[in-house]
Amino acid sequence: MSWDLIGIFLLCILAVMAHASRQPSWKWLAGFIRAIILISLGIELISVFTSMIGFNTGKNTLAIMTVLSVLTAGMLFLPFRQGISVVLSCLNQLFSGQIFLAKRQLPSAAAGAIPVTGDAIPVIDTAITANTITTADVAPEAQAMTADNTETTATTPEQLELAAKESITVVKPNSIWLARRIFVAESMPHLTALWIYVTCLAYILSSIDMSNFNLPALPIPIPVPIDQLFSYNGLGLIMLSVFGVGIFITRKPKEVLQRLGIVKPTLMQIGIGIAMIFVTFAYDWIWSLFTHQFGSNMASRLSNYNAGTFTGGGDALSSFLLALATGIFAGVGEETLIRGALQPVLGIFPAGLLHGALHGQFTHAPIYIVQVAGWSTMMGIVRYYTNTTTTIISHVGFNFITTFLFAFNP
């Protein structure tokens, strides 16, 4: 078993504890999780100190660990998390394009919406399969909040559940930037997700060699084993996703699929998914006009990397099997985690940024991480207006076609 898979198992346990802590008899788990975050803060502060005195010579370690320690300390306090919720919600409105769409009146109680109280209550989207945060994400104390500036307040789980079932939009009055709130500040699962996100992102970024940004180097190509694709990209990421949204604790399996956006697609959504395969090819071609200008023979170096990494033995059958495994395991696993589990909590751009950083094979060629993050953000917009199933179709199709073609023309 690889260390990556062991790490995923530990994160799954942490997610289970976060969801279980919402039960009255298991509230002590919330304190346990906060203690883990405090321990991680201590490790980060030690890393900052050792960087300052010269023991840790990483070029980016001091700056990244300083920012990480500030974020880790801040997220332990509710007002800080409420501020994070506002920032993430505004970013999501920006990247989704909602803020640029034709002006529309915000729903009111008379129009059938249920205005809710405070900033802690999440928005329930009208596109229920696209971005849905239900009462399973919201702490009971947050559900019971009231406000003076609303005529009708959804204060009970039953009211919020009714709004979810009827696809009623819940908004903070007169705030188009915050019409769709993400990241529930009072939610222990959301706090856990935020901590995991910033910690993983920081440690990945600290390993990137920024000096190679203009002259990117590529690692020695190593053929990707199918069992690794299955265990990590497939089983591992899907397992982290379903436990991360509270399967068997706060959600039933059917509710988990709905929360992850894995639903039966319409014919139009299937068409969008297929169309995005061709859009991705165009996106990569446009980027190649830019990235191939770096260094000497960058196109040849990338070709050698692809040939060494994604060839299945040279024959068509082996290449087909590797392409199929790469398409299904990597495509389904990454989309389920990034677009299904993470995006509805943290938003389009943060999810896309982590997706780019997770392509650790490019830590010595950060320009390609930027390329993947940009593509992932684009896919996040597609998921926002459709569902995760649509982006899975695109991701699986593109991975399969490119991996198969790499065997013949890397």
| Alpha-carbon separation of residue 120 from 57, 71, 301, 312 (angstroms) | 41, 19, 50, 50
Q: Does 362 have pLDDT greater than 80?
A: no
pTM: 0.82
Q: What is the mean pLDDT of the chain?
A: 79
Longest dimension (CA), the chain: 70
Helices (H), 245-347: 253-260, 267-291, 298-310, 316-325, 331-335, 343-346
- pLDDT classification of 78: cutoffs 50, 70, 90: very high
Which of 34-48, 85-99, 134-148 shows the lowest mean pLDDT across its residues? 134-148
pLDDT, tens only, 267-297: 999 999 999 999 999 999 998 888 777 655 6
pLDDT, tens only, 134-188: 445 554 434 433 232 223 334 445 444 444 433 334 444 446 777 788 999 999 9
Query: Of 122-131, 169-178, 205-214, where does the model show the most confidence?
Result: 205-214
Other Cβ atoms less than 10 A from the Cβ of 80: the count is 15
Which of 62-71, 172-181, 226-235, 388-397 shows the lowest mean pLDDT across its residues? 172-181
Q: What is the pLDDT of residue 165?
A: 38
Phi, psi of 384 (to 5 degrees): -60, -40
Residues whose CB falls within 8 Å of the CB of residue 198, separated by 6 or more in sequence, listed in order: 68, 71, 72, 75
Question: Residue 337 gets which letter from DSSP?
Answer: I
The phi-psi region of residue 346 (left if phi > 0; otherwise alpha if psi is between -120 and 50; otherwise beta) is: alpha
Q: Does 369 have pLDDT greater than 50?
A: yes
Q: What is the pLDDT of residue 291?
A: 76
Domain boundaries, the chain: 3-78+186-207, 107-174, 214-406
239 in helix, strand or coil? helix
CB 160 within 8 A of CB 154: yes
Q: CA-CA-CA-CA torsion for 7, 8, 9, 10, nearest 10 degrees?
A: 50
Q: What is the pLDDT of residue 72?
A: 97
Distance of CA 189 to the CA centre of its chain: 14
Which residue, 64, 77, 9, 350, is CA-closest to 205?
64
